[in-house]
Structure 1
Amino acid sequence: MRAVSSSLVAILLGAGLASPAYAASKTYDVLPGRLVIGLYTYAGASPAAAMERLGDLALSEARMVPGRPAFVVDVPPDRSQEAIKLVMGAPGVRHFGAEVRMRPDTIPGDPAKAGTLDTVRVPAARTWGAGSPDTVVAVVDSGVSPTAELPADRLLAGRDFVDGDDDASDASGHGTLVASVIAGTGVNGVCPKCRILPVRVSNADGGYAADIAAGIVWAADQGAPVIHVSGAGWSTSRVLEEAVTYAGYKGSLVVGEALNPAVATEDVYGTERRSLAAGTVDRAGLVNGGVTDSTNYWSDVAAADNLRVLDATGTARYLAGTAASAAVVAGTAGLVLSAKPDATAEQVRESILRNALPGNHLGEYPLSVLDAGAVLSEFGTADTKAPVVAATGLTAGQIVGTTPVVVRPRITDDHGVKRVELLRGGKVVAERRTPWDKPLTLTAPAKWTGQQDVTVRTYDYAGHVGEATTNVRFDTVAPTVTFVSPKLNTAVRSPFQVVISTDADVTSVTASGVKMVRQPGTNLWKATLRSGDGGGGIFSIDARDAAGNVATPNWTGTVDSTAPTAKTISPAEKTRVRSTVTTSVSGIQDQIGLAKAELWVDGKYAGAGTSRKVSTAGKNGNVKLTWKLTDKLGNARTYTRTVIADNKGPSVSITKAPKNKAKVTGTVKVYVKASDTAGVARVELLVNGKVVATDKTSAYVLSVNTKKQAKTMKVRVRAYDKLGNVTYTTTRTWSRK
């Protein structure tokens, strides 16, 4: 199939035109000051009549185009239209037009995007032979010079149509690069035993269509079965078109760039084309035809470019663009004619087009890619051996899970493999038809576990089939995970141990990134985790089986690592107490609930509950009360209170009063001194066991009317502190007068 690209700029760049300025105009390659005038071939037709009509407008003598009935004459550029009108209708004049400059491919090579002949299956083609010295490929370019990859003994005597001599040495280096791709012995030489016929028609800045036409005709007359033509341009040249047609009638296959109108358009006489126009293809199969629909300059086939070969100085360089891809096509034609010398140009051309592979294209117009191996299979010796699948790339019992497996089979064939299929359970699930197709990929059925045969089946160019089968286990079912401890929706405190149970084929487990350890001989996995307090999704499991299936269940529940709190502990710190005191804890809060409250008194367990009675009898001084609050997970908090036990009565003495056995009358006053660390609450005077006077204010004075008492009185004073402790003075006996 012939294809056409969609972008003018892409065309110019794809064809190898170095300067973007060329894209500004389609007339950059037309030379209005130089006319090419074609003549009829009948006897007597000559430039004379046309030159006579031009008269003074002719700035040069008529220069015949070697091998063609045409001549070139220079005229004033600003009067070219006038000159054309003068020669119109002149006797013997058949066609006329401005000369056209064709420029060589000058795209800089890019090592990062280096091409390979594997893309167009040249290595497979060479299994039928590396060419023959009897096969000649003409290179119509800037000349060809010998290199280490293309020695002089493989270069025939050529012709120089620029200087008009027989020295066809390379004038710019381009022709040698092209010839090295066609017939060099390096890795990027297509037909390393073919010979090259050098034809120089250009310099570094290109060549004229008339010279290129002369070179093509001369190469055809020398019997070159394949002619590679470098050069691209927008404008057509009748003399160049006729030269390509002439070469076709002579039996030559002309191969050129997609932007060479003479090569890329139909035969000027409307008959079948015997030329091929080449576009480019990269390693990913992306094609570029280098042409536009508006020009109708068609591409026939794409081939590899950006190939590293030796130039005329022996330096390795990359040849990029359509000149390189055309060289690959020309070299392939050389391989064909070496394998079958009697093949015609038409047969070679049709085989190349018929066997081309569909390429990847960005624009509207598709372009197929050269398959050199398939072409040679039609002309080389018969292929009687079937390909052999030495290894499928899979192992028996191999597990294939949710991640697709790239299958890289090992296949051998005496020539080459045309297609490879991957079958699962007898059905084709993947195939490779082109060198740039992605590797075969085996995908397991969704949510299924079981075994199936996987077959790699391959076809060679002769249609022979080879295959091999491997039984594979598929598993796309996620493993089962059961939480053993802690159970779902329960409460734990950090750190806590996680125990899960899994399927037997699980190979690794993590819990929120922490590696779990399988317990020997079981399907149990353990790990210790730490987490802050909270509820909901606390941690997640990542369990992977041998097939790569993953289960990621979340554990939900509560983490509580905080002990209970209390608002009030009574009695308050440093409270003075006596005898039996009640201590309590209240306002208790905890996330999951209180399990118990316990009390210790001076380090001795005193019982559980939120309120306890504590005896301080016989104690004076500090008493330590310790409350321990424990929640249901064992989180515990202690609260300590120190109280002061005071079981000692006040110090009390009578400072002034009748002495023992004194006789008294009337009202008697008793003066008392009393003190206590807790403070004196009151002082009382007792007569015969009855309180007869009380004083709560220091200094204490107690009065008694003895007239109202018995004749004999037993008198003593007692003092109470604020805790209720009491102290008595010694008893005195009074008698009334």
Structure 2
Amino acid sequence: MRERIALLAAFISCLSIFAPLRVFADIDAPAVPGELIVGFHEGASRARGFAGGPHGAEIVRRSTLVPAALVRIAPGEDVHAACEELLRRPEVAFAHPNYTGRAGFIPNDSQIFSQWHHNNGGQSGGTSGADIGSRFAWDLGRGSASITVAVLDTGIDSDHPEFSGRLLPGHDFVNGDSDPEDDHGHGTQVAGLLAANADNSFGVAGVDHFCQILPLKVLDDQGNGTTFDLIAALDWSRTQGVDVINMSLINYPLSGGLDAALQAADAAGITLVASAGNNGIGDADISAPGVSAYTISVGATDDSDQRAAFSATGQALDLVAPGANVETVVFDSAANASSAFTGTSAAAPIVAGMVSVMKALDPSLTNAEIRQHLQDAAQDQVGLPAEDAAGWDEYHGSGRVNLLASLEAVLGAVDAPVATVPDLALRLSPNPTRSESVLRFRIPQPQRVEASVYDISGRRVRSLLAGPRPAGTQSVVWDGRDDRDRPLRPGVYFVRVASGAVSHACKVTLLP
């Protein structure tokens, strides 16, 4: 029983565990002082209270829904010690502190529910869940004013309320002045997807709600620009403390000068995100700057998680993101509304916004680490089977991005203890899933391995693997069912893999 509670602690943290699984102190979460929740086995008598029990424990409230009670202990007594004592009683199924929670963040922007890329419930006729998971991700991070994102585009409408308090003094490389005002509209809409103000009862919400935005105008009022202006903007960014650059730009040739400028920006620690291009399948492939090895090249998906027909394909494609009829700001500072925006120009700023939130959580992240987190967290095989093969493919790259999983990956890397034993490299894909998910992990030598699925209470619902395994990468499929081959209810579950002295756990969400 103690192991069950300890498993719950391990799973909630979603971290690697390198010590025996035991007690409740492993859960780093706020709780009500002096209170714990005690669950009883079915059929056990719960008539008696805990008067005179361990640590002065007494029942103050009972649950009519589940066999559990709220227990209060004497002032100054230790809650964790009381849990340990109560677990020794045969009628007690579990005992843990009375943890506290809070409401999840849902912006009050007037058009937030039309932004299916944040939270897709099928409101636009698409597939529920075909989104980047913003709704729950924003509880983990919403960005920081310490992060600066440069938008290399047609400029940004400086009077727009969606960017109030967020715009830094930029530059116009087309006209050679310090006024990067948008005279086209493209840059304003791009910036809206990336970082429109949230929770201001106006318009839409960007992915990042707090980053500083640096407008750099490299395209004219017709949406055209030169390679030299793009190079100049990249060079200028290196002097301005920029953390992320978004380039919703296509059809530039990858000249030596442009690639050298991209390389220099990458070497300076700036994460470069670019559109893959809008020429679809064929010999078009990925256009520059997205084709460069120094950029994260982003294709587009629709609200059913299928590759948008216009989205360019090819060997340089890294990821895909929503980019077909996604809702962003209107190019009119007075309009409390949204406008549909289509193209890989729309997909790139969504990823750039994700990167800026990731960097806000961990400013020490390298570009290689950011790319790896995005790829590992991407949802694979969500598109058409003929295109979206397992792993990387030229149509979807590593998959459709997921903000929630990406932030969880960052937080896991930040909080993970120093390993004293080999890493199992535990991965689950797809995650979230509606049917099945593939569990992959690595063991350094032949040994016995156990892999199981647990529900949120810590109860094991499915044994996936138990026995000796050869060294190397292992793959196990979980079909969303329990040990009796019954479909499990949608919700959060945890997969635990134990091998030798190592035990790793990770969360998986089973969708309706």
Q: CA deviation at 1:346?
A: 1.9
Structure 2 residue corresponding to 1:459, chosen from 493, 499, 507: 493
Q: Alpha-carbon deviations, 1:232-281, whole Å to 9, x = none?
A: 11643332222211211111111111026333334xxxxxx431011011
Query: Which residue in the other structure is 2:295 paired with?
Result: 275
What SS does the corresponding residue of 2:162 show, helix, strand or coil? coil
Separation in 2, partners of 1:222, 1:351: 26
What SS does the corresponding residue of 1:357 show, helix, strand or coil? coil
Query: Which residue in the other structure is 2:262 paired with?
Result: 244
Q: CA deviation at 1:374?
A: 1.3
Cα 1:114/1:380, change in 2 over 3 Å: closer
- Shifted more, 370-379 versus 310-319: the winner is 310-319
After the TM superposition, which residues 253-332 of structure 1 pair with which residues of structure 2 at under 5 Å, given as runs? Answer: 253-259=271-277, 261-266=287-292, 273-288=293-308, 296=314, 298-305=316-323, 306-314=325-333, 315=335, 316-332=338-354
Separation in 1, partners of 2:188, 2:370: 25
Q: Alpha-carbon deviations, 1:436-464, whole Å to 9, x = none?
A: xxxx999x99xxxxxx7955563369945
1:179 partnered with 2:191: yes
Cα 1:253/1:156, change in 2 over 3 Å: same
1:166 partnered with 2:197: no
> Match of 2:297, as an amino acid?
A
Separation in 2, partners of 1:330, 1:145: 19
- Equivalent pair of 1:181/1:327 in contact (CA under 8 Å): yes
Aligned-pair identity in percent equals: 24
Q: CA deviation at 1:371?
A: 1.4
Structure 1 gaps of 5+ residues are 1-110, 267-272, 385-416, 429-439, 446-451, 469-737
Q: CA deviation at 1:126?
A: 1.8
TM-score (norm 1): 0.37
Separation in 1, partners of 2:315, 2:433: 32
1:124 partnered with 2:144: no
> Match of 2:383, as an amino acid?
N
Q: Which has the larger radius of gyration?
A: 1
Query: Which residue in the other structure is 1:375 paired with?
Result: 406
Structure 2 gaps of 5+ residues are 1-111, 120-130, 199-203, 278-285, 389-393, 416-430, 437-452, 454-459, 464-479, 496-503
Separation in 1, partners of 2:230, 2:167: 19
- Equivalent pair of 2:248/2:346 in contact (CA under 8 Å): no
Cα 1:239/1:132, change in 2 over 3 Å: same
Separation in 1, partners of 2:407, 2:321: 16
Q: CA deviation at 1:162?
A: 0.4
Q: Alpha-carbon deviations, 1:374-403, whole Å to 9, x = none?
A: 11112237899xxxxxxxxxxxxxxxxxxx
Q: CA deviation at 1:297?
A: 6.0
What SS does the corresponding residue of 1:262 show, helix, strand or coil? coil
> Match of 2:140, as an amino acid?
W
Cα 1:338/1:300, change in 2 over 3 Å: same
Q: CA deviation at 1:189?
A: 0.7
Query: Which residue in the other structure is 1:728 paired with?
Result: none
Cα 1:426/1:155, change in 2 over 3 Å: closer
What SS does the corresponding residue of 1:324 show, helix, strand or coil? helix
Query: Which residue in the other structure is 1:66 paired with?
Result: none
Q: Alpha-carbon deviations, 1:18-37, whole Å to 9, x = none?
A: xxxxxxxxxxxxxxxxxxxx
Larger proportion of strand:
1
- Equivalent pair of 1:180/1:310 in contact (CA under 8 Å): yes
1:360 partnered with 2:383: yes
1:335 partnered with 2:357: yes
- Equivalent pair of 1:181/1:188 in contact (CA under 8 Å): yes
By relative contact order (CA 8 Å, sep 6+), the higher-ranking structure is 2
Query: Which residue in the other structure is 1:150 paired with?
Result: 162
Separation in 2, partners of 1:231, 1:336: 23
Query: Which runs of structure 1 show a deviation greater than 6 angstroms over 4 or more consecutive aligned residues?
Result: 381-384, 420-423, 425-428
Structure 1 residue corresponding to 2:239, chosen from 206, 221, 227: 221
Cα 1:158/1:467, change in 2 over 3 Å: closer
Q: Count the aligned residue pairs.
A: 301
> Match of 1:122, as an amino acid?
S
Cα 1:337/1:141, change in 2 over 3 Å: same
Q: Alpha-carbon deviations, 1:136-155, whole Å to 9, x = none?
A: 11000001123555334210
Query: Which residue in the other structure is 2:145 paired with?
Result: 133
Q: CA deviation at 1:114?
A: 6.6
- Equivalent pair of 2:432/2:508 in contact (CA under 8 Å): no
- Equivalent pair of 2:249/2:289 in contact (CA under 8 Å): no
- Equivalent pair of 1:419/1:458 in contact (CA under 8 Å): no
> Match of 2:403, as an amino acid?
A
Cα 1:246/1:357, change in 2 over 3 Å: same
